[in-house]
Structure 1
Amino acid sequence: MKLDTKLETDGDRSVARLYLIGALNSDTAPEFETILEGVLAKGLKVNVLDMRDLDYISSAGLRVIFKAAKQATAAHQRLAASHRKPHIEKVFEILKALPDMAVFANDQELDDYLDAMQARSLEG
């Protein structure tokens, strides 16, 4: 799958909204990282990742988001995620529950786990 993005900015309110459409994985994460760095470079106070059309996220995508969140904090900006689908929300819940604990042997093991959790959430 590919990832498309669409950016809307509101300079008056100092808000950028970046829509993610498709899959954020190891294939799409490098380009997304460049796009997100450009959004943060605009210097707006709030940067929203709108995930209503994000169908999948892998550990590579999560790394880009967490790196950007640190960069935003350092620049006195906020990075927020909105409209997370239940299976995407589940991934964030898992990582929030284990913020400083490495429980996977490697990235592939983590991605396999995240795949299974997202698939289970989609099934119901």
Structure 2
Amino acid sequence: MMTLSLHHEFPATDRVVVYVGGHLDAMSFGEFDKAMLVLLPRLDEGGTVVVDLAGLEYVSSAGLRSLARIRKSMRARNGHTLLLNPQPQVRKVFAIVKAVPVNEVFTSTQELDAYLDRMQRQVIEGNSDA
């Protein structure tokens, strides 16, 4: 089981770059959320969180909720959230979730995660028809 890796840097008082690697899922989102609770208050009002996803290999609905919480938190502080360098399978998940009102289509989180899991596996295995 791949775990989550996190590190960050503050290139300026109004910007933090968070590097996320591994899996952001039901097992790891709590660790991610705790780290964000510490980092975000250190940013100036109106600041920007850059979440570098180059190392992120897998995201579940729990991980998507965590990313949505960052955006909501930053909007409340007149700030911005930028997601950078997602791998193809993670980009696919973002596309699915953006295109489909997820709560209207899937009967449960388990069903959604099974679908997202299948889509990401297909992209990784080179089946681009996913």
In the superposition, the TM-score normalised over structure 2's length comes to 0.89
Instruction: Judge conservation of contact 2:52–2:85 (CA < 8 Å) in 1.
Output: yes
- Superimposed CA distance per residue, residues 49-92 of structure 1 (whole angstroms, 9 cap, x where no aligned partner): 10101111000111111111111101111111100000000000
- What is the TM-score of this pair, normalised by structure 1? 0.93
Residue 25 of structure 2 corresponds to 25
Runs of 4+ in structure 1 off by over 3 angstroms are none
Q: CA RMSD in A?
A: 1.3
**1:101 shift after superposition:** 4.9
Partner of 2:55: 53
Aligned length: 123
Which blocks of at least 5 consecutive residues in structure 2 are unaligned?
Answer: none
Aligned partner of residue 21 in structure 2, secondary structure: strand
Structure 1 unaligned residues grouped into runs of 5+: none
Other-structure match for 2:119: 117
Secondary structure, counterpart of 2:51 in structure 1: strand
Identity of aligned residues (%): 34
